[in-house]
Structure 1
């Protein structure tokens, strides 16, 4: 029996190593390929470390199209969606968490059902509506359809429900209105949850390829994932080193945002409410 614990510990460590390798190896391979010459990308067996680092791959990827425009569009779309979502999910989650009204469970159920509907299923009516409004080939076509989030409402509602009612009653006794309670009590306490949701939303819309492809046809409103896909046209689609350099450009902002927000994300997962 004493041998069992070391064996279990060793198996756990081995499992973690395998899990990390599964997720890390593709990313390391992307970095390695982005720094190689074309000849090294087609060698077999493959080389992990290039003979000479090809920094010009990033310049070629950046100059393969209006990448600055794509980058600015991606920032505007991702941040614009977050602003719109925060302006809706905070109040909706507060209402569902702290109020009881006729039909509240039904409305919350309908909200949750929308999580099961893929965007590919509803894009056609949304496309026709945006076309009627004259918003195709604009950034609004990429922002408005995501101006709220059922997942965000659910996540924030669960956090708001953990706040003790006594705390809110004490605030009301001090003549605090609902807006003050939301702004000075609920939102600060839910900051880790908000940061976590913001990261998930940012990653999802920063990497979104389908929606910009459907809603835009010109570079004026297209985002980085569309630009990365166009790199395939370089050298007849065989420039894997250039394509990987473009993918690394796409990933770097996500990594920066994650490292900035990681402390709040950890707090969100260990948060247990106000005691």
Structure 2
């Protein structure tokens, strides 16, 4: 295969994959803009006959949208802040520290990556209940304060930094906290930014944990709110799908915008996250 043909083939495959992955988002968007009558037609249309922007206003009124958004923001910011800082400290210890059992402890951290939260949620739920943290931000944030993947990602980045940089900082009188936050963290900023994005997306989209940890509208988050909206119209989803999709579009907008601006950092960090 000649180089021009190979190049064209690669571009064609990339375009097809992009369209396949983007189509569900496109379909959600146009469904959010359709009328109930258009949703019932036998032949689906690929663009609304009449654009219904008021569907978004209806979605706002269907659930306590502002309260759910506030809860989601507080949960997400808390988890992102804790995962980054705990990840930085743990990664620094595993990458540059010298203590007995370091590598074995890191292996246990990696082992946590294969354990789904559904396996451990019962004992954690019991603990949250005994602490009287059900229906509080503590229950939404604290169980996810550390990320095994984030520790791994940062540890790989720190291992690529020459120890001479740390020794020079110590000679200048910097302590370990200063070395971590003033020397290593700025050098690892692409990886830190990537972890922040991954943590943000995971926390913003969280459904299972907020569902079992909250039972009042005062503490519920947006993903649970979508489920409530769907359940409240059980049996009439086909007639109200435009409202459900409108709420879904509003929820994913922050993630889409964040990912567009941060994708280059994600690619750079993934390329540096190989085992070393």
Shorter-chain TM-score: what band?
A: over 0.9
Partner of 2:11: 13
Partner of 1:139: 137
- TM-aligned CA deviation for residue 17 of structure 1: 1.4
The CA deviation at 1:8 is 2.0
Equivalent residue for 2:126, pick from 120, 125, 128: 128
Stretch moving more, 153-162 or 35-44: 35-44
Q: Does 1:268 align with 2:269?
A: yes
In structure 2, distance between residues paired with 1:231 and 1:126: 28
Question: Do 1:64 and 1:234's aligned partners in 2 also have CA atoms closer than 8 Å?
Answer: no
SS at match of 2:49: coil
Partner of 1:219: 217
Q: Structure 1, residues 217-237: CA drift from partner, whole Å, max 9, x if none? A: 111111000111122224833
**What's the counterpart of residue 245 of structure 1?**
246
Structure 2 residues without counterparts, runs of 5 or longer: none
Alignment match of 2:28 (pick from 27, 30, 38): 30
Instruction: Give the 3-state SS of the residue equivalent to 1:63 in structure 2.
Output: helix
Q: Report the Cα offset of residue 160 of structure 1.
A: 0.4
Residue 49 of structure 1: CA displacement?
1.1
User: For residues 105-140 of structure 1, what are the alpha-carbon distances to aligned partners after superposition, in whole Å with 9 as ceiling and x for unaligned?
Assistant: 111111111111000000000000000000011121
How big is each residue's C-alpha offset from its partner over 1:2-47, in whole Å with a ceiling of 9 and x where there is no partner? Answer: x532332222122111110111111111111100001112323211
Measured after TM superposition, the shift of residue 169 of structure 1 is 1.3
TM-score when scaled to structure 2? 0.93
1:261 and 1:7, CA in 2 relative to 1: closer, same or farther beyond 3 A?
Answer: closer
Between the two proteins, the alignment pairs up a number of residues equal to 270
Indicate whether 1:160 and 2:154 are aligned: no
Asked whether the 8 Å contact 2:34–2:52 carries over to 1, the reply is yes
8 Å CA contact 1:138–1:221 kept in 2: the answer is yes
Deviation at 1:153, TM superposition (A): 0.4
**How big is the shift at 1:75?**
0.3
Please tell me whether the aligned partners of residues 201 and 255 of structure 2 are also in contact (alpha carbons under 8 angstroms).
yes
Q: What secondary structure is seen at the aligned counterpart in 1 of 2:45?
A: coil
| Structure 2 equivalent of residue 56 of structure 1 | 54
Structure 1 CA distance for aligned equivalents of residues 272 and 211 of structure 2: 39
Give matches, 1:65-104, under 5 Å: 65-104=63-102
Question: Structure 2 vs 1, CA of residues 206 and 51 (structure 1 numbering), >3 Å: closer, same or farther?
Answer: same
Within 5 Å, give how 1:171-250 maps onto structure 2.
171-232=169-230, 233-234=232-233, 236-238=236-238, 239-250=240-251
Q: 2:84·2:195 contact (CA, 8 Å) conserved in 1?
A: no
- The whole-number CA distance in structure 2 between the counterparts of 1:151 and 1:13 is 32
1:74 and 1:223 in contact (8 A); partners too: yes
Q: For 1:8 and 1:18, how far apart are their aligned partners in 2?
A: 15
